[in-house]
């Protein structure tokens, strides 16, 4: 009996020791947690009780050169519907009759879309105007949820849509200026912390605090002038409707600074009717910057510039035009199959003779010709700062497959491809006394370090000043030395050159034997304030002198008057001393 009692006491002693040791270990663990890991568990508790939400930073505005807003941000509402509340058909129809008219939907279609699933939240509309949203706040509409947000607003309507681009539902820039300068416009988002219940829902009257305030995005002021932009867009739309063109581009630039005053492209899209589900994504690109084409005879101005700059010819130098130029086994004709006999270099430009350009390119030689082409910026992106700009296509005598006929056709703008922006930038060196400028589209932007201003950037002196002046005079003779030239305008001296390219692929590949008709002109000749490129695309043969030159004559007087350039002529009103 004594032995049994002893064994029992021993077992109890062991059990007591185990409990004691466990208690000591548990107490030690508690002490460790309270002293060494308290911050970790406190953070877990906070994360369980508090939620975190990103606060979108106010997006900066896009302004024209004079500070007028082209794109800005305004308050709006996103519209949601709780699907469960619409499982009752009568309740759904009652709510849809209120909501649908304000978001541009048919009530029955809205009901059907919401009821496709029984639970969850249905996104009905994004960016509803603030006044319409407020009218819904007190509406008797079961299941309606309104979330205050912001949206992009365009005070000038659809103006400059392909240039400005647009933002997605998350307010991140997707195309155009909005995408190219998204980090500057978008700012830095902030953070807000809020109390939530056991299943994670936000407590309506719970506490909340701002962890980090959002830093608003900066405004961007463009070189674009809203008046000139609207003028060229209206004219481009008018000419497309009038001539049946497939599309086109117009660029207006200050040749002395490289500032782009207007840039329009068609086909495009309307910001007011933006459909991100449109499968034709090509509508969203800025064709004046992204698309290359064969410039045609406008390129003859560059060929003449090279020959004169090298001292090989003067504007009065002559050659005998037989109507054809034979290069190896290839025969090149003038565009109109004309034979002109003894012809000056100035007349080569006036009559746009292919044989004259071929003659000059033979004097220049391939090494010098392609060196100058590169110096004019052809074959290299301009660096304007807009997305999607290609280098263009130039095959030189250093490339495989090149032949002498390439030099011949390149001299009059065939077999070479560049963007409209590259062509106007290159030719703008002529009215700028031979100095090539880098084109730019942003004049000033707000940054966190303060305003950043962009100034004109000279790239290089491509040709001598006297060469540029001589070619400018020749281009003036192209317009004013030919009776009835359709680019001539009363009261202003104009210089310019037409261009026509055939066999072009247009309409995004739908037309494989199309035609590009173009004109590049500047005015006034003695002190140019603007240079303009007009490019129109056709599925049939059209001449630049017939369809694009008149566009210049239509818009140039208004642009020059707006820029403060007075026409030459008798004053109708005089003031006495």
Q: What's the pLDDT tens digit per position in 555-566? A: 999 999 999 999
Which position has the higher pLDDT, 265 or 189?
265
Residues 152 and 75 in one domain: yes
**In the prediction, which pLDDT does 120 show?**
84
Task: For residue range 393-408, list pLDDT tens digits in order.
Answer: 999 999 999 999 999 9
Residue 573 reports pLDDT greater than 70: no
Q: Is 263 left (phi over 0), alpha (psi -120 to 50) or beta?
A: beta
Question: Bigger pLDDT: 194 or 413?
Answer: 413
What does the pLDDT average to over 48-55? 61
pLDDT tens digits, one per residue of 192-216: 665 655 555 555 445 556 667 878 8
- Tell me how far apart the alpha carbons of residues 498 and 535 are, in angstroms, rounded to a whole number: 10
Examine the pLDDT at 575 and tell me if it is beyond 50.
no
| Whether residues 159 and 217 fall in one domain | yes
Residue appearing with tokens 């009821």: 115
Mean pLDDT of the chain: 89
Q: Write down which residue in 222, 237, 254 finishes a domain.
A: 222
Q: Name the pLDDT band for 449 (thresholds 50, 70, 90).
A: confident
The domain in which residue 307 lies consists of 226-270+286-445+454-562
**Are 216 and 323 in a shared domain?**
no
Cα–Cα distance for residue pair 208/532, rounded to 1 Å:
57
Q: Is residue 318's pLDDT more than 70?
A: yes
> Rounded CA gap, 309 and 62, in Å?
42
| Shared-domain flag, residues 517 and 543 | yes
Assign residue 292 the CATH number of its domain. 3.40.710.10
- 146 is a domain residue: yes
Q: Is 247 found in the same domain as 154? A: no
- Residues 516 and 367 both lie in one domain: yes
Pick the range with the lowest mean pLDDT from 100-114, 230-244, 246-260, 374-388: 100-114
Residues 95 and 205 in one domain: yes
Give residue 571's pLDDT band: very low, low, confident or very high (50, 70, 90). very low
- Predicted confidence (pLDDT) at residue 78 exceeds the cutoff of 90: no
Instruction: Give the ranges where 245-299 is alpha helix by DSSP (H).
Output: 287-290
| Sheet strands (E) in 144-189 | 144-153
Residue 562, by phi and psi: left (phi above 0), alpha (psi -120 to 50) or beta?
Answer: alpha
12 lies in some domain: no
Q: Is residue 25 part of a domain?
A: no
Same-domain status, 189 and 317: no
Distance CA 429, CA 449 (A): 34
- Burial class, 481, CB count within 10 angstroms (exposed 0-12 / middle 13-18 / buried 19+): middle
Instruction: State the pTM of this model.
Output: 0.86
CA atoms within 13 A on the CB side of 263: 34
19 domain residue, yes or no: no
125: DSSP letter? E
Give the tokens for residue 91.
């309740």
Number of structural domains, the chain? 2
The reply to whether 203 and 341 lie within a common domain is no
User: Is the same domain home to 126 and 75?
Assistant: yes
């Amino acid at each position: 009996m004594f032995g049994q009692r002893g064994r029992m006491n021993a077992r109890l002693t062991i059990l007591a020791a185990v409990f004691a040791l466990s208690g000591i270990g548990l107490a030690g663990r508690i002490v460790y947690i309270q002293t060494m890991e308290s911050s970790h568990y406190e953070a877990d508790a906070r994360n369980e009780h508090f939620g975190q939400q990103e606060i979108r930073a106010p997006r900066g505005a896009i302004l024209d050169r004079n500070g007028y807003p082209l794109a800005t941000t305004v308050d709006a509402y996103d519209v949601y519907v709780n699907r469960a509340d619409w499982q009752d058909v009568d309740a759904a129809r009652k709510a849809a009759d209120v909501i649908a008219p304000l978001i541009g939907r048919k009530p029955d279609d809205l009901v059907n879309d919401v009821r496709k699933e029984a639970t969850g939240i249905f996104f009905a509309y994004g960016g509803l105007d603030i006044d319409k949203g407020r009218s819904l706040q007190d509406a008797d509409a079961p299941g309606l949820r309104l979330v205050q947000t912001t949206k992009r607003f365009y005070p000038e309507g659809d103006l400059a849509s392909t240039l400005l681009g647009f933002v997605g539902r998350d307010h991140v820039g997707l195309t155009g200026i909005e995408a190219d300068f998204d980090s500057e416009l978008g700012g830095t988002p902030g953070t807000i912390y809020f109390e939530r219940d056991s299943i994670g829902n936000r407590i309506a009257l719970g506490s909340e605090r701002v962890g980090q305030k959002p830093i608003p995005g900066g405004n961007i002021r463009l070189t674009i002038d809203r008046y000139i932009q609207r003028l060229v867009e209206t004219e481009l739309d008018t000419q497309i409707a009038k001539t049946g063109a497939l599309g086109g581009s117009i660029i207006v630039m200050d040749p002395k600074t490289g500032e782009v005053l207007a840039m329009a492209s068609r086909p495009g899209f309307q910001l007011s009717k933006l459909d991100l589900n449109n499968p034709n994504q090509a509508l969203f690109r800025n064709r004046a910057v992204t698309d290359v084409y064969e410039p045609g005879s406008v390129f003859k101005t560059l060929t003449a510039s090279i020959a004169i700059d090298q001292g090989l010819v003067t504007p009065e130098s002559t050659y005998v035009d037989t109507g054809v130029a034979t290069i190896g086994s290839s025969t090149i004709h003038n565009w109109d199959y004309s034979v002109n006999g003894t012809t000056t270099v100035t007349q080569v430009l006036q009559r746009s003779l292919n044989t004259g350009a071929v003659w000059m390119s033979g004097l220049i030689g391939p090494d010098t010709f392609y060196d100058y082409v590169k110096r004019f910026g052809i074959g290299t992106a301009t660096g304007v700062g807009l997305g999607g700009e290609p280098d263009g296509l130039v095959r030189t005598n250093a490339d495989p497959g090149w032949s002498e006929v390439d030099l011949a056709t390149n001299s009059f703008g065939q077999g070479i491809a560049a963007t409209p922006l590259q062509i106007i930038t290159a030719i703008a060196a002529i009215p700028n006394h031979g100095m090539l400028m880098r084109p730019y589209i942003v004049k000033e932007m707000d940054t966190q370090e303060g305003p950043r201003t962009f100034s004109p950037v000279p790239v290089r002196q491509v040709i001598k000043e006297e060469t540029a002046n001589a070619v400018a005079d020749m281009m003036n003779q192209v317009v004013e030395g030919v009776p009835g030239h359709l680019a001539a305008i009363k009261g202003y001296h104009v210089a310019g050159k037409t261009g026509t390219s055939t066999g072009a692929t247009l309409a995004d590949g739908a037309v494989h034997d199309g035609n590009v008709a173009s004109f590049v002109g500047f005015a006034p000749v003695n002190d140019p304030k603007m240079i303009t490129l007009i490019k129109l695309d056709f599925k049939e043969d059209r001449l630049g002198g017939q369809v694009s030159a008149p566009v210049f004559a239509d818009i140039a007087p208004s642009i020059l008057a707006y820029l403060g350039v007075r026409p030459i002529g008798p004053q109708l009103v005089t003031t006495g001393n």
